[in-house]
Amino acid sequence: MIVHLVRSKEYSAHSFQSVLHLLNQFTGPVEFLASESLSEINNAIEVEIADKETFEKKDIPPPHFFEANYSREMPKLSIQFPHKTQQASWGHLFEKCAEYRSINGIPQNELVILLTDIGNEFNWFGSIDSDMRSVFIHTSDWQYYFHGLHERFPIAYEIVSWIFRIIMFDNRLEIKTSMHNESRGCLMDFCEDKKQIVFKMRTADFCSDCFQILEKTSVDQRIIHQLLDGLEGIRKNFLSVERSNYLNSPRKIKIKGFTHTIIIPDFGDIEIPLNPKQKALYLFFLKHSEGVRIVDLIDHRKEISIYYHRFSTFGTLEEIEKSLDILLDPTNNNINEVLSKIKSTFVKVLGQRLAEHYVISGNRGEKYKIKLSPDLIDFESSI
Ligand SMILES: [Zn+2]
């Protein structure tokens, strides 16, 4: 089975290659070929989408669309909202597939899949022409549903899904009537609320009803094996990225009680054990999310001094002030030593990657700051 992947002009060549590379990791009788020429969607119009709900919702094409011979005659677009985006009619997108097929002499038994950043009139992730040989897939906006995930995974998933549907069903109407309106985590979930795609892709599987349909098909079993391998590979990649995003995302830091114990509640209330001097400097930077240059710290001596005296249970007032003199002396390396100790403490407790969000860092001569977003800083009591 040969599948031609056609890149639309506005779709990134880099993303296109990474999708192709991903699909080619799964070997078997399905052969994915990259397009030799680019397709240009020249009939798109600019539309504005009003709100989040509209953006996330699929529309239903008119019933006659699913009649066997109904193909290109689509009604004009009539959507006006504040979010500006390019949209083309389904008919136009299928015409582009037909054009590619005709120019390149692609035989009817081979599939043509057009990948385009241009949206489509019913706001679908992709759809199929009435000949069941040509498909378009929308390649942009995936980041909206999958934060931090490379779009090659959902795009490859859509490609594999459409090939499965071509294998399982005889026509577009059959596909439509077999779609599940409720979410089953099945490849045939309709996902009217487009956010449901996340659930579908996390499982990347078939429900038992759909498996029965798949089992009855007379297609070469090796094709099914290859496509299932593809789904499984995409799912694993998806989950590992999702998991690592989760594991590497910083959690709230809490400053607790009179002594300002520094804890991370989400990690079992784990404490960051800083000594009084380190803690005084750390809290100062937590309070100054805008950042402060090391040479300017001397201007904030009073504030740092209040913290230091509060936390220090040893030493006389003079000893603390002397220690501050050393800390804030720009010619002394003491500040770098303290910063480095704070860093190593965070690394020891949280590991290198997570610690990056919490430590005081900056380039020499520039402002030093803690990267952590202010909404992740929780002062239980004010100083
Ligand atoms: Zn199903």
Whether 72 and 196 map to the same domain: the answer is yes
Sequence-distant (6+) residues with CB within 8 A of 16 are 5, 7, 34, 115
Tell me the CA–centroid distance for residue 132 and ligand 1, in Å.
Answer: 19
Residue bearing tokens 């290109």: 72
C-beta of residue 86 within 8 angstroms of C-beta of residue 45: yes
Whether 44 and 14 map to the same domain: the answer is yes
Question: What's the whole-number mean pLDDT along residues 304-320?
Answer: 84
Whether 231 and 308 map to the same domain: the answer is no
Whether 111 and 15 map to the same domain: the answer is yes
Distance CA 52, CA 8 (A): 26
Whether 69 and 123 map to the same domain: the answer is yes
Question: What's the whole-number mean pLDDT along residues 264-290?
Answer: 91
Tell me the CA–centroid distance for residue 356 and ligand 1, in Å.
Answer: 43
C-beta of residue 171 within 8 angstroms of C-beta of residue 130: yes
Number of domains in the chain: 2
Tell me the CA–centroid distance for residue 333 and ligand 1, in Å.
Answer: 65
Distance CA 255, CA 116 (A): 49
Cα dihedral 15→19→20→21 (10° resolution): 100
Tell me the CA–centroid distance for residue 182 and ligand 1, in Å.
Answer: 10
Give 267's DSSP letter: G
Tell me the CA–centroid distance for residue 190 and ligand 1, in Å.
Answer: 10
Whether 132 and 269 map to the same domain: the answer is no
pLDDT at 202: 80
Tell me the CA–centroid distance for residue 222 and ligand 1, in Å.
Answer: 21
Sequence-distant (6+) residues with CB within 8 A of 110 are 1, 2, 3, 4, 133
81-114 pLDDT, tens per residue? 566 788 899 999 999 999 999 999 999 999 999 9
Q: Name the residue range of residue 297's domain.
A: 253-379
Tell me the CA–centroid distance for residue 155 and ligand 1, in Å.
Answer: 20
pLDDT at 381: 66
Whether 168 and 50 map to the same domain: the answer is yes
Whether 22 and 142 map to the same domain: the answer is yes
Give SS3 for 84: strand
How far is C-alpha 41 from the chain's CA centre? Answer: 26
Whether 105 and 187 map to the same domain: the answer is yes
Work out the percent of the chain whose per-residue pLDDT is above 90: 55
170-224 pLDDT, tens per residue? 999 999 999 998 888 899 988 877 777 887 888 878 899 999 999 999 899 999 9
Q: What are the structure tokens assigned to 378, written together? A: 């929780």
Sequence-distant (6+) residues with CB within 8 A of 331 are none
Whether 333 and 198 map to the same domain: the answer is no
Find the CATH number of the domain harbouring 217.
3.40.390.10
Neighbours of ion ligand 1 (CB under 5 A): 186, 188, 207, 210
* pLDDT band of 118, cuts 50, 70, 90: very high
Whether 130 and 220 map to the same domain: the answer is yes
Q: Which of 229, 247, 265 is where one domain is finished?
A: 247
| Overall pTM > 0.85 | no
Tell me the CA–centroid distance for residue 185 and ligand 1, in Å.
Answer: 8
pLDDT at 288: 95
pLDDT at 71: 43
Q: Which of 247, 272, 287 is where one domain is finished?
A: 247
* pLDDT band of 54, cuts 50, 70, 90: confident
Q: Which of 203, 218, 247 is where one domain is finished?
A: 247
Whether 317 and 240 map to the same domain: the answer is no
